[in-house]
Amino acid sequence: MKIEGKGAILATVAGIVALGLLAGRCAPSAPKGAKKGVAVSDVAQAAMKVYVAPGDLDEYYLFASGGHSGQMYVYGLPSGRHISTIPVFTPYPATGYGFDDESKKMLGDLTWGDTHHPALSETNGDYDGRWLFINDMNGRIARIDLRDFKTKQIIGPVPNVSGNHGSSFVTPGTEYSVMASRFSIPIPKGTAVEVAKYATDYKGVVTGIKVDPKTGEMSMGWQILMPPFDYDLGDAGKLVSNGWVFFTSYNTEKATGKLEVTSAQKDRDYIAAVDWKLAEQLAAKGEGQMIGGVKVIDPAKNPGLVYFMPCGKSPHGVDVSPDGKYVIGSGKLQGVTTAFNWEKVQTAIRNKDFAGDEDGIPVLKYESIKDAEVPVGLGPLHTQFGPDGYAYTSLFVDSAIAKWKLGTWEVVDKVPMSYSIGHLSAAEGDTVSPDGKWLVGLNKLSHGRHLTVGPSQPESSQLVDITEEKMKLVLDFFTEPEPHYAQIIKADKIKAIEVYSKEENHHPLAVWDVKDAGVTRNGNKVTVKIVEVRSTITPTDFEIKEGDEVTLAITNIEQTTDELHGLGLLDYNINIVVDPGETKTVTFKAKKKGVFPYYCTNFCSALHQEMQGYMIVR
Ligand code: K7E
Ligand code: CUA
């Protein structure tokens, strides 16, 4: 525990006395909050704000990236309760993800992903509750359908993009989800060139992945060739800046080796402003050179496509204000963040007010496009917004959040974060109409603010009440590594289904009657149609031959929500879970002779334990 000085001790004493008075008796042992020097009445107020009574529902969903776990984690706010894990890039035995034919195929050869930035789909710049996109460093983007909270598509690894960090940010109409190379490489992939030729032979690429407005299906949109910088974060313009997407870049020195030294030579790096509507037009005209199977557009040959906005050195986040008028970005070792004025950017472009170029891409003049340098504090990383013109910037070095006003550029409040905040997320904070109310600090270190679990500690997330002028820290909750970024959506925007209805199940191997269950053979190909319903797996046994190629098609014919059944097949590494009304298949070779029990893995009824059978391989 930290010793917080005399003032804190006095406050503690005052708190204990206050509680004693409230309780109408002598002071009992100090409540937990009081130990840390917080007045008791504040603790009680905070508790009331975040308390969601048994049976009551949270007001918001928080979708947090699971970092290199490859998953998404779903929390309720304000309670901070973990509700669900959505497997995306990594097999997850709890839901059988990565074990059935379909999800196995979707994952391909990769059994891990490193997720950073979830992006909720938007209509007119507002979250519409339809889909959730999430990037993977291995050049992929996944789409989760929020109708059933399941991963429906993984696109990639996309050619030419390397280290897809600046992703999966969406444009205001979800026309595109974007990607950017954090690690420039020689392209196409598979070309080996020594690092000494980095500045000339390595390339960055930014990509727009097209999203079908009806189905959400993702496909290749356009790719743009970029100088070999490290493209880090992105954000799409909105309203007045709609049509543009911004990416921060560091190592504009094009250096190699120890980047912490070599990439910090220049005072400024850049934010790349990309005209995605122009990219779309150019791609439609077939512009570009075929590289790695994709047409890559060269901005040096297509004026107007990309501009560089100089920014404090080694920037991290870039964030566009809800009205689209300001682009916020800063060096991550600076004490200020810069607000760039989009109108000034456009004027500078019109007047060709350039300071030079980088590989043929015009560089704008910092002084011509900035409105203010806001003295937020040390180590600004990311900025979120409220409904009232306030901005909130996370400060890694200061381990705090700064609240400041757009337009007047005054810093009005700060709240410490425990410890070392990375991203932060405001309720509906990336939309044209943020909600205010809540802000979550996604901290990198927890330093024992929880029961000890040994050397590997969870990340700590902290809920901040932003309804009043002064921010108030009201709750600590913990997450697995590592929620780089998260988004918060109003719960009533999500219309999830309760079951897969029988009418909607068009799976060719689905069976809804136990009479239709059983084995069909075609040469050495065997299909076993299985029905699961409380409390029998039909068939209760079946026989096949060694060497057969077996497909189990399992249908859960329940139409009651939460009535899941599983199928664990011992010694064959098979683990399927089927939701009510769902059919899944798993295909394998019967390599081992003998008798292999299978059983339901999800506790479904009083006679769940009886839900079992035998596969006999002769
Ligand atoms: Cu951890 Cu957006 Cu990958 Cu910032 S990122 S902190
Ligand atoms: Cu079905 Cu347990």
Residue partners of 350: CB distance under 8 A and separation at least 6: none
Q: Which atom of ligand 2 is nearest to the CA of 563?
A: 1
Q: What is the average pLDDT across 75-94? A: 98
Write the residue with the smallest CA distance to atom 6 of ligand 1: 422
Is residue 12 over pLDDT 50?
Answer: no
Calculate how far, in angstroms, residue 98's C-alpha sits from the geometric centre of ligand 1.
Answer: 27
| Tens-place pLDDT, residues 47-72 | 999 999 999 999 999 999 999 999 99
For tokens 């996604």, what's the residue?
442
| Tens-place pLDDT, residues 210-243 | 999 999 999 999 999 999 999 999 999 999 999 9
- 172, 166, 265, 268: which is closest to 224 by C-alpha? 166
* pLDDT for 241: 98
Mean pLDDT taken over the chain: 94
ω into residue 482 within 30 of 0, thus cis? yes
User: What percent of the chain shows pLDDT beyond 70?
Assistant: 94
Please give the Cα distance from 80 to 23 (Å, whole number).
29
Q: What is the average pLDDT across 75-89? A: 98
- What six digits make up the tokens of 514? 């136990």
Calculate how far, in angstroms, residue 78's C-alpha sits from the geometric centre of ligand 1.
Answer: 23
- Asked if residue 193 lies in contact with residue 164, where contact means CB atoms within 8 angstroms, the answer is no
Q: What is the average pLDDT across 512-517? A: 98
Is residue 172 over pLDDT 50?
Answer: yes
Please give the Cα distance from 238 to 172 (Å, whole number).
6
Q: Which atom of ligand 2 is nearest to the CA of 535?
A: 1
Ligand nearest to the CA of 533: 2
Q: Which of 6-20, 35-49, 109-123 has the lowest mean pLDDT?
A: 6-20
For tokens 């299978």, what's the residue?
598
Is residue 5 over pLDDT 70?
Answer: no
Calculate how far, in angstroms, residue 483's C-alpha sits from the geometric centre of ligand 1.
Answer: 9
Q: How far is CA 373 from CA 173, 246, 340, 380, in A?
A: 31, 19, 9, 12
Is residue 24 over pLDDT 70?
Answer: no
Which H helix or E strand runs over 196? none
Calculate how far, in angstroms, residue 52's C-alpha sits from the geometric centre of ligand 1.
Answer: 30
| 3 state DSSP class of 228 | coil
- Asked if residue 312 lies in contact with residue 331, where contact means CB atoms within 8 angstroms, the answer is yes
* pLDDT for 7: 39
The count of residues in the chain is 618
Calculate how far, in angstroms, residue 544's C-alpha sits from the geometric centre of ligand 2.
Answer: 24
pTM, two decimal places? 0.93
- pLDDT confidence tier of residue 481, bands split at 50, 70 and 90: confident
Q: What is the average pLDDT across 328-348? A: 97
Is residue 8 over pLDDT 90?
Answer: no
* pLDDT for 41: 86
- With a Cβ cut-off of 6 Å, ligand 2 is lined by 565, 600, 602-604, 608, 611
Q: Which atom of ligand 2 is nearest to the CA of 604?
A: 2
- Asked if residue 405 lies in contact with residue 391, where contact means CB atoms within 8 angstroms, the answer is yes
Calculate how far, in angstroms, residue 563's C-alpha sits from the geometric centre of ligand 2.
Answer: 8
Q: What is the average pLDDT across 420-430? A: 98
**Ligand 1, residues 337, 382, 442: which to mutate, most atoms within 8 A of Cβ?**
382
* pLDDT for 38: 59
Q: What is the average pLDDT across 417-436? A: 98
Q: Which atom of ligand 2 is nearest to the CA of 564?
A: 1
Ligand nearest to the CA of 315: 1
* pLDDT for 9: 37
- With a Cβ cut-off of 6 Å, ligand 1 is lined by 116-117, 165, 233, 316, 381-382, 422-423, 484-485
* pLDDT for 454: 92
Write the residue with the smallest CA distance to atom 3 of ligand 1: 116
Calculate how far, in angstroms, residue 116's C-alpha sits from the geometric centre of ligand 1.
Answer: 6
Q: Which atom of ligand 1 is nearest to the CA of 317?
A: 4
Which H helix or E strand runs over 12? helix 5-23
Calculate how far, in angstroms, residue 452's C-alpha sits from the geometric centre of ligand 2.
Answer: 35
Write the residue with the smallest CA distance to atom 1 of ligand 1: 484
**Ligand 1, residues 164, 181, 250, 381: which to mutate, most atoms within 8 A of Cβ?**
381
Calculate how far, in angstroms, residue 581's C-alpha sits from the geometric centre of ligand 2.
Answer: 14
* pLDDT for 42: 87
Calculate how far, in angstroms, residue 595's C-alpha sits from the geometric centre of ligand 2.
Answer: 21
* pLDDT for 22: 39
Calculate how far, in angstroms, residue 534's C-alpha sits from the geometric centre of ligand 2.
Answer: 6
* pLDDT for 40: 74
* pLDDT for 498: 97
Calculate how far, in angstroms, residue 422's C-alpha sits from the geometric centre of ligand 1.
Answer: 6
Is residue 33 over pLDDT 70?
Answer: no
Is residue 80 over pLDDT 90?
Answer: yes
Calculate how far, in angstroms, residue 32's C-alpha sits from the geometric centre of ligand 1.
Answer: 32
**Ligand 1, residues 233, 248, 421: which to mutate, most atoms within 8 A of Cβ?**
233
Q: Which atom of ligand 1 is nearest to the CA of 444?
A: 6
Q: Which atom of ligand 1 is nearest to the CA of 394?
A: 6
* pLDDT for 37: 61
- What six digits make up the tokens of 249? 């870049």
- Asked if residue 18 lies in contact with residue 39, where contact means CB atoms within 8 angstroms, the answer is yes
Ligand nearest to the CA of 580: 2
Is residue 413 over pLDDT 70?
Answer: yes
Is residue 30 over pLDDT 90?
Answer: no
Q: Which atom of ligand 1 is nearest to the CA of 396?
A: 6
User: What percent of the chain shows pLDDT beyond 90?
Assistant: 90
**How many CA within 13 A on the CB side of residue 439?**
33
Write the residue with the smallest CA distance to atom 5 of ligand 1: 484
Q: Which atom of ligand 2 is nearest to the CA of 565?
A: 1
* pLDDT for 3: 37
Write the residue with the smallest CA distance to atom 1 of ligand 2: 565
Q: What is the average pLDDT across 285-301? A: 98
For tokens 């309670």, what's the residue?
79
Calculate how far, in angstroms, residue 552's C-alpha sits from the geometric centre of ligand 2.
Answer: 17
Q: Which atom of ligand 1 is nearest to the CA of 316?
A: 4
Residue partners of 4: CB distance under 8 A and separation at least 6: 36, 37
- Asked if residue 395 lies in contact with residue 421, where contact means CB atoms within 8 angstroms, the answer is yes
- Asked if residue 519 lies in contact with residue 544, where contact means CB atoms within 8 angstroms, the answer is yes
* pLDDT for 448: 87
